[in-house]
Amino acid sequence: MTDTGMTATRVLELIEAYGGAPDTWPEAERAGAQALIDAQPEVFEAALLEACRLDGLIAVRPEVEPYTDLYERILDDAPMAEVRGRSGLAWFKSLILPQGIRWPAGAAFASLMIGVVGGYAYASTGTVESFDQIDQAYGSSFDLDAADDWLNREEGA
Partner 1 sequence: MPVIFRVSYRMLGDRAEAEDVTQETFLRAWKIMPRWQPNAKFSTWACTVALNLCRDRLRKKKPVLMDEPPEQVDVALRPEQALASRQAVSRIEAEIACLPIRQKEALELCAIDGMGNIEAAEIMGVSIHALESLLARARRSLRARLKQEMDQ
Q: By CB under 8 A, is residue 53 in contact with partner 1?
A: yes
Q: By CB under 8 A, is residue 26 in contact with partner 1?
A: yes
C-alpha span between 140 and 35 (Å, rounded)? 30
Angle 27-29-34 (CA atoms, 0-180°, nearest 5)? 100
Among 5, 39, 42, 61, which residue sits at the site for partner 1 (rule: CB under 8 A)? 61
Q: Three-state DSSP class for 26?
A: coil
Q: By CB under 8 A, is residue 44 in contact with partner 1?
A: no
- How far is C-alpha 94 from the chain's CA centre? 23
C-alpha span between 88 and 57 (Å, rounded)? 46
Smallest CA-to-CA distance from 83 within 92, 95, 73 is with: 92
Among 63, 82, 87, 157, which residue sits at the site for partner 1 (rule: CB under 8 A)? 63
Q: Which of residues 64-123 bind partner 1 (CB under 8 A)?
A: 64-67, 70, 73-74, 77-79, 109, 117, 120-121
C-alpha span between 96 and 139 (Å, rounded)? 11
Closer residue to partner 1, CB minimum distance, 39 or 124: 124
Instruction: Pick the stretch among 32-40, 85-93, 97-105, 125-133 that binds partner 1 (CB under 8 A).
Output: 125-133
Burial of 34 (0-12, 13-18, 19+ CB in 10 A): middle
x/- site string to partner 1, residues 136 to 155, per CB under 8 A? -xx-xxxx------------
Residues that bind partner 1 (CB under 8 A): 13, 16-19, 24, 26-27, 50-51, 53-54, 56-67, 70, 73-74, 77-79, 109, 117, 120-121, 124-125, 130, 133-134, 137-138, 140-143
